[in-house]
């Protein structure tokens, strides 16, 4: 059973505290057909020196200013030669044997296009914070409406090249939730993910991560993505998503200082009919 080539792309920007551990977790995989490349957007924290130390073991390293994480990933994916693709952020890690598990799955299941495993949440010191499992209704409507909790652990997700060849790469205008946008396009392409009951990677939650520090930006990105794909849903689903979008916009407004919230209410006076807004103004 021939194992497929796997390309792992690592976008990097000012994560020197975790970068070397992330690099070592990929190099230690022992996978026979691995292409591993790093794309750094011009870090100023010593990351470039770490990358240089490992350059001889990398298939490529790009260290130059970019337009953000999506742009960095697209630069790397454009150089990818593997039949199977995935990316690992520079503050996450692959767990031992992950790529052999992934490669073995795709070799044994030639019709499989998209594989999602489990991840382990860790903190800055590497302490276990609990599991991160795939969850939800795995369809475009399930992702956009999220009537049940939806989760695709990004560092434990791999797909065959034809899927992103058809769906396209990352949207360089998205600096948050770009993976979610890609998954929705995979669903719209008709892909159904296979779920693997195996822990493949760690997902690090720490004070410097975008997930922990830029919650409002993630909400704005989700609103942008949901508006983009709303026309692809049926009329009933569109109505449900419009209600969700309204709730999310109001939720975002309630996170602003009271003066800015009142300005939003003056612009959207019907918001006063919402208990969500009235409670925020009364707090």
pLDDT of residue 213: 57
Residue intervals in the chain for CATH 3.90.550.10: 6-213
Q: Considering Cα of 29, then 60, then 15, then 78, what sign does the dihedral take?
A: negative
pTM: 0.90
Mean pLDDT of the residues in the chain: 92
Rg (CA), the chain: 20
What CATH number labels 6-213? 3.90.550.10
Residue tagged 């409406």 (tokens): 145
Higher pLDDT, 209 or 68: 68
pLDDT of residue 211: 60
> Which residues are CB-neighbours of 225 under 8 A, at least 6 positions away?
144, 174, 177, 180, 181, 184
129 confidence band (pLDDT: 50, 70, 90): very high
The token duo for 103 is 């490669």
| Per-residue pLDDT tens digits for 36-95 | 999 999 999 999 999 999 999 999 999 999 999 999 999 999 999 999 999 999 999 999
Helix (H, G, I), strand (E, B) or coil at 269: helix
17 confidence band (pLDDT: 50, 70, 90): very high
CA 107 to chain CA mean position, Å: 25
pLDDT of residue 218: 87
pLDDT of residue 26: 98
pLDDT of residue 100: 98
133, with CB counted inside 10 A (0-12, 13-18, 19+), is middle
pLDDT of residue 209: 66
Give mean pLDDT, residues 176-184: 97
Cross-strand partners of 221: none
pLDDT of residue 232: 97
Provide DSSP, 234-254: -HHHHHHHHHHHHHHHHHHHH
pLDDT of residue 281: 73
Range name among 140-144, 166-170, 201-205, 253-257 with the lowest pLDDT average? 253-257
* Percent residues over pLDDT 90 in the chain: 80
The token duo for 179 is 């993976």
* Percent residues over pLDDT 70 in the chain: 93
| Per-residue pLDDT tens digits for 211-266 | 655 688 888 999 999 999 999 999 999 999 998 898 788 877 777 776 676 677 66
Rounded Cα distance between 16 and 52, Å, is 12
């Amino acid at each position: 059973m021939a194992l497929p080539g796997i390309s792992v792309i690592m976008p990097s920007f000012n994560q020197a505290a975790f970068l070397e551990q992330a690099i070592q977790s990929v190099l230690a995989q022992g996978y026979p057909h691995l292409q591993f490349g790093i794309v750094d957007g011009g870090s100023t924290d010593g990351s470039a020196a770490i990358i240089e130390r490992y350059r001889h073991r990398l298939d490529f390293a790009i260290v130059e200013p970019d337009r953000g994480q999506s742009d960095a990933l697209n630069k790397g994916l454009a150089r990818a030669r593997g039949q199977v693709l995935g990316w690992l952020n520079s503050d996450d890690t692959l767990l031992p044997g992950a790529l052999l598990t992934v490669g073995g799955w795709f070799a044994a299941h030639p019709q499989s296009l998209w594989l999602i495993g489990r991840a382990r949440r860790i903190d800055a010191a590497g302490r276990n914070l609990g599991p991160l499992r795939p969850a939800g209704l795995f369809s475009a409507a399930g992702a956009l409406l999220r009537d049940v909790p939806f989760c695709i652990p990004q560092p434990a997700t791999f797909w065959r090249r034809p899927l992103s060849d058809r769906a396209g790469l990352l949207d360089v205008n998205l600096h948050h939730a770009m993976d979610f946008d890609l998954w929705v396009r995979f669903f719209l392409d008709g892909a159904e993910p296979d779920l693997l009951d195996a822990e493949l990677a760690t997902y690090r939650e720490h004070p410097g991560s975008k997930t922990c520090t830029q919650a409002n930006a993630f909400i704005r990105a989700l609103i942008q993505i949901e508006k983009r794909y709303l026309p692809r849903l049926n009329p009933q689903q569109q109505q449900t998503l419009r209600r969700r979008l309204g709730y999310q916009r109001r939720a975002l407004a309630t996170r602003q200082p009271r003066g800015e919230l009142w300005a939003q209410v003056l612009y959207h006076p019907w918001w006063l009919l919402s208990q969500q807004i009235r409670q925020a103004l009364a707090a």
